[in-house]
Chains A and B, each alone.
Chain A
Amino acid sequence: MKPTEFLNSSIKDFTLNLNNDYRYLKTGYYVSMHAEVLGNPVIPTSGNIIDAGRTPILLLKASKTGIPTLPYLVTGSIKQIISELGFPVVVFAVNPFSYDGFKIAKNKSALYRTVKSLSMNYKFTVCAQPLKGEMISFKSIFGKCEVDGVISRISERVYEVFKIPICKLHVQRVGDEAYLCGLQPLKMEEIFPSDLEMVSAAISRMSKKGEHLVG
């Protein structure tokens, strides 16, 4: 069923909301919201959509459930980042407009540029985390990814907690350990036929009689 069709309906059933972009205020969000108002069990929930897209909340909820994360700082102050985290740092935006990715700052001037840009000229805060290893970004489809080992385990755990079927994860690998750093939506052009096969396989696994697939 098309998302816009679902938004005008009153179907009461389990709803699997499939979308590449679950950002707040976008159609993917409204589908989950509408399903909840109708009283339907839905994947993903609108609350999880918001929380997974807000980096500090993603990290807080993830660490509560045992997913490895690094210390983070929500602030608008460069001095605070330098004194509490030092260099290098990974900085994510916490504002209503930027959602794509992160920036790495290795020195003071780079950090000034990064924070000024991601905070939209200091209007909003940023979320900073120490950079201790290398950043790895990959697609996660129903928790499955093409990276092995500890990273694959993080991908599965993030899906168990937030139930975001299709997304991109940012993880930091430090030696044999891996830490969750961020989650963002996928662009349409980033989804390949092999990803759609993974989506189909996941749907077959969880398929229930009478459920409504919206996507």
Chain B
Amino acid sequence: MARIACFVEKYNFSDQREALALQNFQRTAEERGHEFKFLFREGIPEIPKYDAVFIRATTDPLYTAYIVSKTAWELGRKVIDDPESIQICGNKIHLYDLFKKHNVPHIPTLFLNKEELHHKRLLEVFEAFGKPIVVKAPYTSFSRYVEKVACETSFRDVAKRFFRKSDVLAVQAFMPTAFDWRVGVLNHEILYVCKYMMPKGRWKHGAKRRGKPTFIWGRTVSLKRENAPARLKEVALKACEVIGHGLYGVDIKEANGNHVVVEVNDNPSIYAGYEDLRSKDLYGKIIAYLAD
């Protein structure tokens, strides 16, 4: 029997589907004879009491979730997401630098540092990728801090905003598609496959409503693992190989028969009725990995 702590924040229970998925994890663990407790911020000192930690709160090297992950790791506990995966996936510059080194097929990407925000360099970027282009802050998650720009003025505006926090940004070719593949991977094994559809008239899975603070999200269409294209699964596994052997959500675009990685996310969303619809065994596989 393993004692598993699931680190969550209050917002993890605000969406009914996410709350239901968390209950599914708890039920699965308990059915298998494990202890599964939700751990909130105030419970951080209790980490040593557990054998494994499963993080569901949003991760970033600057968030509390990283403190939880690293503390568990330093104490020799099994942890999803492990600190190294948070470090790499939480910073897209790190991620694309690794993709370049290991020849992982990915969206054409250039890095732009603060000193390069000048007319000549911006023209070079537009020449390389055409117009529009996508400017991405390294700390992007949930489709935020990724913007499309088509002229130098808006490029400068967006870049200046993102440069407030990070000294380096990613600039990418714009590849509009009706959906992004989302492949869930655990320990070098495909866990689930979905299509994250773009909302009508939008180019990202999550898009802000004009003039409103709320987001609209595209539909999630799930597939059986065995029905997903072989090349898609191969590319997803290759992308995860350069990061580690934890739990990842790989976003992949398919264009002209080619599969290119958009990004790899640690701490991928798992909502009941979406990611798990055709892969009900994902709960058991994650619990088994933690309890092993």
Q: Is A153 an interface residue (CB 8 A)?
A: no
B42 in complex: contacting residue of A25, A26, A75, CB < 8 Å: A75
A4 to B167, CA, bound (A): 10
Q: Is B292 an interface residue (CB 8 A)?
A: no
Q: B139 to chain A: which residues have CB within 8 Å?
A: 25
B66 in complex: contacting residue of A25, A34, A54, A76, CB < 8 Å: A54
Q: Is B265 an interface residue (CB 8 A)?
A: no
Q: A26 to chain B: which residues have CB within 8 Å?
A: 166-167
Q: A138 to chain B: which residues have CB within 8 Å?
A: none
Closest CB in chain B relative to A10 CB, distance in Å: 9
Pairwise interchain contact A47-B87, C-beta atoms closer than 8 A: yes
A46 to B138, CA, bound (A): 15
Pairwise interchain contact A27-B167, C-beta atoms closer than 8 A: yes
Q: Chain B, 190-229, contact with A by CB distance < 8 Å: what is the 0/1 string?
A: 0000000000000000000000000000000000000000
A54 to B71, CA, bound (A): 11
A7-B113, A37-B101, A50-B87 known; A25+B60 contact, CB < 8 A: no
Q: B91 to chain A: which residues have CB within 8 Å?
A: 25, 33
Pairwise interchain contact A94-B44, C-beta atoms closer than 8 A: no
Report the nearest A residue to B63, measured CB to CB. A96
A50 to B65, CA, bound (A): 13
Q: A95 to chain B: which residues have CB within 8 Å?
A: 62
Pairwise interchain contact B97-A34, C-beta atoms closer than 8 A: yes
Say what secondary structure dominates the interface of chain B.
helix
Closest CB in chain A relative to B175 CB, distance in Å: 24
Q: Chain A, 7-22, contact with B by CB distance < 8 Å: what is the 0/1 string?
A: 1000000000000000
Pairwise interchain contact A37-B94, C-beta atoms closer than 8 A: yes
Q: B167 to chain A: which residues have CB within 8 Å?
A: 25-27, 30
B64 in complex: contacting residue of A33, A34, A47, A124, CB < 8 Å: A124
Within 8 A of A (CB), among B74-109: 74, 83-84, 87, 91, 93-94, 97-98, 101
Q: Is A73 an interface residue (CB 8 A)?
A: yes
Within 8 A of B (CB), among A96-134: 96, 124-125
A4-B113, A7-B168, A37-B98 known; A30+B64 contact, CB < 8 A: no
Q: A56 to chain B: which residues have CB within 8 Å?
A: 67, 71
Q: A50 to chain B: which residues have CB within 8 Å?
A: 61, 66, 87
Pairwise interchain contact B42-A80, C-beta atoms closer than 8 A: yes
Closest CB in chain B relative to A99 CB, distance in Å: 10
Pairwise interchain contact A57-B70, C-beta atoms closer than 8 A: yes
Q: Is A61 an interface residue (CB 8 A)?
A: yes
Closest CB in chain B relative to A92 CB, distance in Å: 12
Chain B contact residues, CB within 8 Å of chain A: 41-42, 44-45, 60-64, 66-67, 70-71, 74, 83-84, 87, 91, 93-94, 97-98, 101, 111, 113-116, 138-139, 165-168
With A76-B42, A96-B60, A125-B64 already in contact, 17 other A-B pairs whose C-beta atoms are closer than 8 Å: A4-B116, A24-B61, A25-B91, A25-B138, A25-B167, A26-B166, A27-B113, A27-B167, A30-B93, A30-B113, A30-B168, A33-B91, A54-B61, A61-B74, A75-B44, A77-B42, A125-B44
